[in-house]
Amino acid sequence: MSLEHYYIIDSTLREGEQFVNAQFSTAQKIRVAEALDEFGVEYLELTSPMASPRSLEDIKAITRLGLKARILTHIRCHKEDARVALDTGVHGVDVVIGTSSKLRQFSHGKSIDEIIDLAAEVLTWIRAQAPDIELRFSTEDSFRSEEAELLRVYLAVDRLGVVNRLGTADTVGIATPTQVSRLVGTLRRLTRCDIEFHGHNDSGCAIANAFAALEAGATHIDTTVLGIGERNGITALGGLIARMYTYDRAATRTKYRLSRLRALELMVAEMVGVDIPFNNYVTGFSAFTHKAGIHAKAILNAPETYEALDPHDFGLTRYISIAHRLTGWNAVKARAEQLNLNLSDAQVKALTQHIKALADERALTLDDVDLLLRNWANGHEMMESPLPAGVG
Ligand code: HCA
Ligand code: CU
């Protein structure tokens, strides 16, 4: 069910601001908010208005933009935080409190009963002030919290009948898809609320966990652009999109403007002073590059043989790398055709063997291969050599 009807809460302007390099100016926040809105995420989560005076003003400014995306802010389970948040004009408030024994001991010092009482007081108060606001209650470090205690908190909050959504947070990135599935499934069965999942990526499961949450009935997934956040961050927007696209291409294409992804990532990468990783989902520099001759042949016949994602849907193009020892004659032939060169299959096959032998001696570039192709097409097979004199 949720796999067809889910919402993305992009938290680049909250969790993402907790990335070590992030220091967004107001103008930058507005550009990020607008770009995310154009991409089509349904919600934007912004840093708490209690963080700083600028944070408060920025929430107001972004809310006033009148974007399609709903604007949320993220606060502690405090009445004063809630009062300031409600004054900003946001569409929703995300309330969080830690429930793991570590957070209870080392952070806020409250018992489970005190957490339940405080949550009841704050959430009921918010609902009384703002009958139409979207209200979410989440537990920090849900997956290291004692299960019975955790459920006691969630069930008490659900019974209040004032929140729209319960959040689950893998704060330190240790949950597995099976654990996520179990907790989300339990909340799905026992409560009437929508369910959100927020997952850190410390052990590399953030995207798989988000997908497991959706399979188990979660309705909302937190992401950030490039996955930026505390430490090494959370579920990356592009990674979640890749995952959902491979699950349901048509629906993902309809829901989001996929061709905007790369520009959005480049913009945020520049703002926070990082590069897009080479192996990034969709936009990494080698994401649509094919190398081995066997792959290249199949790609030339039918790209879907080795591509689960169609680069064109993301405004990108595929690339076949041919200047190496793993190359194959089909790929070399395709390059000859691109260059409008007339070579017989026998010539291309012989040249391919030559390229392999050369590549065993040194790294080749596409220019080297293009030169060989041109020379062979002109009947100068033996004249050229991209190798320095005396080599090969
Ligand atoms: C934080 C913690 C948080 C909250 C997630 C949530 C986490 O930095 O405030 O509100 O669901 O990872 O637990 O980001
Ligand atoms: Cu987090």
pLDDT score of 390 = 43
Residues with Cβ within 6 A of ligand 1?
Answer: 15, 18, 74, 94, 96, 138, 140, 167, 169, 171, 198, 200, 230
Structure tokens at 96: 């969080």
Structure tokens at 97: 């409190």
Handedness of CA 289, 292, 296, 299 (dihedral sign): negative
pLDDT score of 22 = 98
User: What is the rounded distance in angstroms from the CA atom of residue 226 to the CA atom of residue 269?
Assistant: 8
The ranges of the chain with pLDDT < 50 are 388-392
pLDDT score of 392 = 38
User: What is the rounded distance in angstroms from the CA atom of residue 150 to the CA atom of residue 154?
Assistant: 6
Structure tokens at 202: 């410390």
| Cα of 380 vs its chain's centroid, Å | 51
In the chain, residues under CATH classification 3.20.20.70 are 7-272
289-377: CATH topology: Recoverin; domain 1 (1.10.238)
Q: How far is the CA of 54 from the centre of ligand 1 (A)?
A: 21
Structure tokens at 277: 């990783």
* Integer angstrom CA distances of residue 270 from 227, 230, 231: 14, 18, 18
What mean pLDDT, rounded, does the chain reach?
95
**Eight-state DSSP code of residue 106:** I
pLDDT score of 383 = 55
Q: Which atom of ligand 1 is nearest to the CA of 234?
A: 12
User: What is the rounded distance in angstroms from the CA atom of residue 134 to the CA atom of residue 9?
Assistant: 13
The ligand whose atoms approach the alpha carbon of 168 most closely is 1
Choose one of 99, 171, 196, 219 to mutate for the ligand 1 pocket test, by most ligand atoms within 8 angstroms of C-beta.
Answer: 171
Structure tokens at 312: 């064109």
| pLDDT tens by residue, 303-327 | 999 999 999 999 999 999 999 999 9
DSSP codes joined into one string, 342-380: ---HHHHHHHHHHHHHHHHHS---HHHHHHHHHHHHTT-
pLDDT score of 389 = 44
Q: Which of 41, 19, 47, 33 is nearest to 274 (CA)?
A: 19
User: What is the rounded distance in angstroms from the CA atom of residue 251 to the CA atom of residue 273?
Assistant: 33
Amino acid 284 reads G
Is 97 in a helix, a strand, or coil? strand
Find where tokens 């969790």 sit. Answer: 15
Active site residue 295: yes
**Eight-state DSSP code of residue 275:** P
pLDDT score of 391 = 43
Q: How far is the CA of 49 from the centre of ligand 2 (A)?
A: 17
In the chain, residues under CATH classification 1.10.238 are 289-377
pLDDT score of 387 = 54
Choose one of 140, 143, 209, 222 to mutate for the ligand 1 pocket test, by most ligand atoms within 8 angstroms of C-beta.
Answer: 140
Distinct helix (H) and strand (E) counts, the chain: 15, 10
182, 168 Cβ separation under 8 angstroms: no
Is 196 in a helix, a strand, or coil? strand
Is 77 in a helix, a strand, or coil? coil
| pLDDT tens by residue, 236-278 | 999 999 999 999 999 999 999 999 999 999 999 999 999 999 9
Q: How far is the CA of 142 from the centre of ligand 1 (A)?
A: 10
Superfamily holding 7-272: Aldolase class I (3.20.20.70)
Q: Per the residue annotation, which of 74, 198, 295, 312 is the catalytic one?
A: 295
Phi and psi for 178 in degrees, rounded to 5? -65, -40
